[in-house]
Amino acid sequence: MLFTAHQIQTIREQALGMDKHRQVTPEALATIYDHRLFHLFVPDELEGRMTSLPEAARIFQESARIDGNLGWLVTIGAGGGFFASLMSREVSRRVFAHREAVIAGSGMPTGTARQVDGGFIVNGSWKYCSGSTYATTFTANAVIEPGFTVQDATGELTADQNESLIRSFILNPGQIEILEDWNAFGLRATASHTISAVNAFVPFEMTFSLTETQGYENETIYQYPFLPFAQVSFAGVAAGIAEHFLEAAESLATQRGGSSHVVGKLEERKAALEQSVSDFYESVEGSWEELLRNGELSNATEAEVTARSITAAQTALSCGQQVFPLLGLSAAMEDAEINRCWRDLQTACSHALLRSF
């Protein structure tokens, strides 16, 4: 166990307040900082605690089992460390090398950038930026207007008047306005708000390309393909929330006398989740070993990791879908632990990367 019994108890006791007030508590954030959980994918020399993907997925699962908001915020915050290899070493040190460093942002290119002397003027808005209220850095993707000339580490990039380029921009909190519009019925304390920037000047050195590695090439995690990396991370969260849900459901069923039908369904879902999570980790661990051995993943391995991640998430979701209707009106109360778990599970599994088509 990564967390102490006291830390688990404190966060669980504060979970109702976080849900009602839609914000994470200082104590929960302090626990994240103390364990350096936002730095799981940050190089050690940047005050990180570089972690393998299988181990990190288990940390995400453990965090989410304590509380869904905690698990989601740890996972999203840690994921920002993936960008350390895309920034120059000087910039990555500036962004990551302190205790409370964490990135919030969006990968959607819903902004625009106009080139000016020394950098760009960025405008736009970006939805679903988890951790927005305490982020120390923001990243956002924007489309550079046609007709630009950009000097990068390898030389000069140019484009004609008909071509556009998507680039990532590093902004500080003073350049960002937060629109507090995260009104979802679950994961309420994740502050997954819309952010916007108006005429923000970003020097060229504070921009990066998602396809151009600038440092830390030897760190294995940065060689892992980003799509399955994200799916593995989110599947760990879904599994942890489902475990908490089943734990709370068992407690509630016991209080109500525990009918054989409810108990049977609980045991069935527990077994299904355990098997699916076991298959999931077998795939993740196998992919990590393949990456260490070959320096890359085969297409078949990528596809398997994606499939196992989605299956694990969908199995987690089915725990809520099949058990929640059996628990009576007491489970329908918003301040009930089981209700929060159910809402968090539904919300987490709504992410596009966890849906099966």
65 and 120 fall within a common domain:
no
241 and 315 fall within a common domain:
yes
Instruction: List, in sequence order, every beta strand (DSSP E) within the chain.
Output: 103-116, 119-129, 137-144, 149-152, 155-158, 165-171, 177-179, 193-203, 207-208
245 and 337 fall within a common domain:
yes
Looking at 183, 208, 233, which one is the last position of a domain? 208
Q: Is 76 helix (H, G, I), strand (E, B) or coil?
A: helix
260 and 196 fall within a common domain:
no
Q: What is the pLDDT of residues 151-176, one digit of tens each?
A: 554 445 555 444 569 999 999 999 99
Q: What is the pLDDT of residues 175-207, one digit of tens each?
A: 999 999 999 999 999 999 999 999 999 999 999
Looking at 154, 183, 208, which one is the last position of a domain? 208
Instruction: State the residue for tokens 């929060």.
Output: 340
Number of domains in the chain: 3
Q: What pLDDT, on a 0 to 100 scale, did the predictor assign at position 278?
A: 98
The answer to whether residue 135 is domain-embedded is: yes
Q: Label residue 84 left, alpha or beta by phi (over 0 means left) and psi (-120 to 50 means alpha).
A: alpha
The low-confidence residues of the chain, meaning pLDDT below 50, are: 153-155, 160-162
CATH number at residue 277: 1.20.140.10
Rounded-to-integer distance, Cα 269 and Cα 220, Å: 35
User: What residues have CB less than 8 Å from 90, skipping those under 6 apart?
Assistant: 205
Q: What pLDDT, on a 0 to 100 scale, did the predictor assign at position 152?
A: 53
Looking at 182, 208, 234, which one is the last position of a domain? 208
Q: What pLDDT, on a 0 to 100 scale, did the predictor assign at position 157?
A: 54
The answer to whether residue 93 is domain-embedded is: no
Q: Taking the model in full, what pTM does it have?
A: 0.94
Q: What pLDDT, on a 0 to 100 scale, did the predictor assign at position 66?
A: 98
Q: What pLDDT, on a 0 to 100 scale, did the predictor assign at position 151?
A: 54
Rounded-to-integer distance, Cα 34 and Cα 36, Å: 5
CATH number at residue 9: 1.10.540.10
Q: What pLDDT, on a 0 to 100 scale, did the predictor assign at position 16?
A: 97
230 and 196 fall within a common domain:
no
Closest CA to 124 of 74, 225, 187, 199: 199
Closest CA to 127 of 175, 183, 204: 183
The token duo for 46 is 């940047």
34 and 74 fall within a common domain:
yes
Q: Is 116 helix (H, G, I), strand (E, B) or coil?
A: strand
Residue 108's φ and ψ, nearest 5 degrees, are -75, 130
The token duo for 82 is 């993936």
198 and 318 fall within a common domain:
no
The answer to whether residue 189 is domain-embedded is: yes
- Which domain does 108 fall in, by range? 103-208
168 and 248 fall within a common domain:
no
Q: What pLDDT, on a 0 to 100 scale, did the predictor assign at position 260?
A: 83
